[in-house]
Structure 1
Amino acid sequence: MNSYDVITLLDEIAATSSRNAKEDLLRKHIDDPLVQRVVRLAYDPFVTFGITPPTLSTFGEAVFTMDTPEVWSLLDRLAKRTLTGNAAREEVEQMLAWLNKPAAQLLWRILRKDLRCGISEKTINLVLPNTVPTFDLMLSKAYEEKRIKAFPVPVEPKLDGFRGMSLVSAGVSKAFSRVGNHFPQLDWAGPYLVQMVENARAKVQNAESCPGMTDKVRRFIWDVLGGDAGPSAAIDGEAVSGSYATTSGDLRRKDEEATDTILNVFDIVPYAVMRDTGQIEWKVPLKIRRKVLEFVVRCAPEGAPIKVTDLREASSHEEIQAIYAEHRANGLEGAMVKPWDGHYVKKKGHLWMKIKAEETKDLRIVGWFEGKPGTRLEGKFAGYIVNHEGVTVSVGGGYSHKQLEELGAEALTIHAGEPFTEKGIVKRMFTVAHRLCEVEFHEVTPDGSLRHPRFIRFRDDKDEALRVAA
């Protein structure tokens, strides 16, 4: 195949709305080396080119294949950052002008890392395994006193932010949500994390720079940071930018990076362990992982927006509750309780336990409703309709004035059925399920609805429908 064949395939995939049809078309041609290379370059988040390609205007007559060194050399030098700045822009413009229109369009899409054919990362991994990083994180369950077998236990604040894993490898760091979705808006922190890991490795290589540290400990840290394979690590944390609503909004905006966000880190795991889908547990106690993490973060470059989460020890259940109450008084969401001897296990369990103020559930949005007649929101977006175990619940509280305007504008862009009136309120049901959101409520009513439901936040980071892993 050549560049014309590939762009034709992509356009054919884009023209079908069926996910299965898209998958079938891609699978039919995925054995072709050119198709494979195009897909990997466009979807592998660890391959970036550091340039926004210019708008296409004039074209030449050339096409490219696997045997066109000019194209692949250009992409390789851009990815390795041996070609940057004005020189990179000039070469890209020259290459696009040399290629014919279909070939230039294909190269432009590769540089934009967007093939514009509606294929998800999940589909890519189904057809071409291991193209996009996949993994599971350690997740918590509700706090239960009986689960604590020994005191003291560390207690961390439960931050009102966006949980994610930063994967550092081969001089690049990429941020991923708990369901494995890449969030490029946090990649601005990558250079800090890469430098931090490289600095830590350099320090443990030199015994004189680590006075009091045994050779065994230095070797262990070296191995956690990639060992002889080169600098790497998986750093678990919570990105916070003011309120959760601000953080989530920053992460969803694709045209700007969340550069005012602080990355609060609380765990570290070897990169190879995190990428190994067959290894569920890393049998290293939290007490050791925490010490390694604190050492690594101390090696971060000056001014890096990275900090280790605060941690306090509790020697009784009463002390745990007192710390939790203090966190709530300081405006935090709650507390996390973790045993010092607990391993990192890539699934949900009681090794990590959370204490939260109100009962909440993550529910699927299925529609929205207008304000009551005679109110300021009459004829406007007033809240979402969610599905609670088969019962539709109208969630009208918890939104700011700004959110009501922004969410209303978004809701109007989503295809909905004909509006209908129920109890004097106009409702619009989406034809497909929408985003997942967290809803706070007092109790479940006898008919299965929720009493006093309030919108808290979107939970894209927990949405299994967005999971990348096959």
Structure 2
Amino acid sequence: MPAGDSWLFEMKYDGYRAQAAIAGDQVRLYSRGGHDWTRQFGFVAPALATITKGTALIDGEICAIDQHGRSNFSLLKTSLDGRSPIVFFAFDLLEQNGEDVARLPQAERKARLEALLTDLPADSPVIYSQHVAGNGQQVFDAMKAGGFEGVIAKAPAARYYGGDRSTAWLKIKAVQRQEFVVIGWRPPEYGVDNVRGLFLATYEDGQLVFRGAVGTGFTDKMRREVHEVLQLILADGPLDVKGMPRAEARACRWVEPRLLAEVEYTEVTPDGLIRHPSFKGLREDKPARDVHLEVQDA
């Protein structure tokens, strides 16, 4: 946990990372991989279209909010029908009226973003991500006690860096949870069109590395839906996966390494496998090659 009063601490959200590109009343939403998400999450666009007559590029996270006021990744896909509110938490400003704001210090970018969003109504689906300067341990303890994901610690003088591996933004998690690359599935013992479990990996130095398998956390409906998605990306043959036991490889029905699974787990073993994993859902907001085993920054 970074010490001192200089670091900024924000809530860690549980949703889809996205960027909002604004040009007056024209708004487009993009995933980290550059996919256009305006159609899927266009209901936040009208609010974004009111914040400036010029241009802006805002980094943030699209989240579904549960009955306890917490962002909940598992609800996100099922919330498109309006059963749970969906919001866009805005936490960084990268461009404004043609100026490259990403090169400015974090604290200045946050101040500009707050000023840009200041006139939004209280019920807007676009929400400025508040932060606390210093007192990181107290902020983390409060988030953990409230059942939240954890915090992100941000160095106030740092410029913006894309991706997840910058030392300017540190994830301090209340639970161990991240996305993994799905490399295949374990079929059921009987001829049912679903999955018994998913085989998981991460990319390390361009090589797929085996991280284990997840078989819990699925509903019956999830097992069927995941099976349907996997049929669309069947691999021509076995993948080259470092550290995968032969027995697991023989049992695996291989798929192209494009799909991501969000998984919660208790710890990583000394040989790099995750323990007691639980499936939370599939992800679409990040390229598979950007998925690495995350190390707790606390």
Task: Please give the TM-score of this superposition, normalised by the length of structure 1.
Answer: 0.49
TM alignment of 1:11-30, pairs within 5 A: none
Letter in 2 for 1:172: Q
Match of 1:178 in 2: 32
Distance in 1, Cα, partners of 2:189 & 2:269 = 23
Distance in 1, Cα, partners of 2:30 & 2:151 = 23
Distance in 1, Cα, partners of 2:21 & 2:272 = 41
Match of 2:95 in 1: 270
Task: Identify if the C-alpha distance between structure 1 residues 271 and 178 changes in structure 2 by more than 3 Å, giving closer, same or farther.
Answer: farther
Match of 1:108 in 2: none
- SS of equivalent residue, structure 2 residue 36: coil
Match of 1:196 in 2: 51
Report how far residue 393 of structure 1 moved: 2.7
Report how far residue 435 of structure 1 moved: 0.1
CA contact (8 A) 2:211 2:274 kept: no
TM alignment of 1:411-430, pairs within 5 A: 411-412=230-231, 414-415=233-234, 427-430=251-254
Q: Are residues 1:169 and 2:23 paired?
A: yes
Count the aligned residue pairs: 269
Aligned match of 1:357 in 174, 177, 181? 174
- Which structure dedicates a bigger proportion of its chain to strand? 2
Letter in 2 for 1:364: V
CA contact (8 A) 1:166 1:236 kept: yes
Match of 2:276 in 1: 452
Task: Identify if the C-alpha distance between structure 1 residues 324 and 302 changes in structure 2 by more than 3 Å, giving closer, same or farther.
Answer: closer
Distance in 2, Cα, partners of 1:396 & 1:294 = 43
Cα-to-partner distance string for 1:2-46 (whole Å, 9 max, x where unaligned):
xxxxxxxxxxxxxxxxxxxxxxxxxxxxxxxxxxxxxxxxxxxxx
Bigger relative contact order, structure 1 or 2 (CA pairs below 8 A, ≥6 apart): 2
Match of 2:58 in 1: 235
Q: Are residues 1:384 and 2:198 paired?
A: yes
Letter in 2 for 1:239: I
Aligned match of 2:213 in 394, 405, 415? 394
Report how far residue 369 of structure 1 moved: 1.9
Q: Are residues 1:406 and 2:225 paired?
A: yes
Report how far residue 180 of structure 1 moved: 1.9
Distance in 1, Cα, partners of 2:79 & 2:210 = 32
Distance in 2, Cα, partners of 1:335 & 1:268 = 19
Task: Identify if the C-alpha distance between structure 1 residues 273 and 457 changes in structure 2 by more than 3 Å, giving closer, same or farther.
Answer: farther
Task: Identify if the C-alpha distance between structure 1 residues 170 and 429 changes in structure 2 by more than 3 Å, giving closer, same or farther.
Answer: same
Aligned match of 2:126 in 306, 313, 323? 306
CA contact (8 A) 1:162 1:248 kept: no
Distance in 2, Cα, partners of 1:390 & 1:287 = 37
Letter in 2 for 1:188: F
- SS of equivalent residue, structure 1 residue 438: strand
Task: Identify if the C-alpha distance between structure 1 residues 427 and 434 changes in structure 2 by more than 3 Å, giving closer, same or farther.
Answer: farther
Letter in 1 for 2:215: G
Task: Please give the TM-score of this superposition, normalised by the length of structure 2.
Answer: 0.74
Match of 2:295 in 1: none
- Which structure dedicates a bigger proportion of its chain to helix? 1
Match of 1:37 in 2: none
Match of 2:86 in 1: 261
CA contact (8 A) 1:328 1:334 kept: yes
Distance in 1, Cα, partners of 2:45 & 2:170 = 29
Mark the runs of 5 or more structure 1 residues left unpaired by the alignment: 1-143, 199-230
Task: Identify if the C-alpha distance between structure 1 residues 379 and 197 changes in structure 2 by more than 3 Å, giving closer, same or farther.
Answer: closer
CA contact (8 A) 1:238 1:263 kept: yes
CA contact (8 A) 1:163 1:238 kept: yes
TM alignment of 1:425-444, pairs within 5 A: 427-444=251-268
Report how far residue 392 of structure 1 moved: 6.8
Tell me which structure has the larger Cα radius of gyration.
Answer: 1
TM alignment of 1:133-172, pairs within 5 A: 145=2, 151-172=5-26
Aligned match of 2:150 in 320, 334, 341? 334
Aligned match of 2:75 in 246, 256, 260? 246
Report how far residue 351 of structure 1 moved: 1.3
Distance in 2, Cα, partners of 1:258 & 1:163 = 21
Match of 1:73 in 2: none
- SS of equivalent residue, structure 1 residue 349: coil
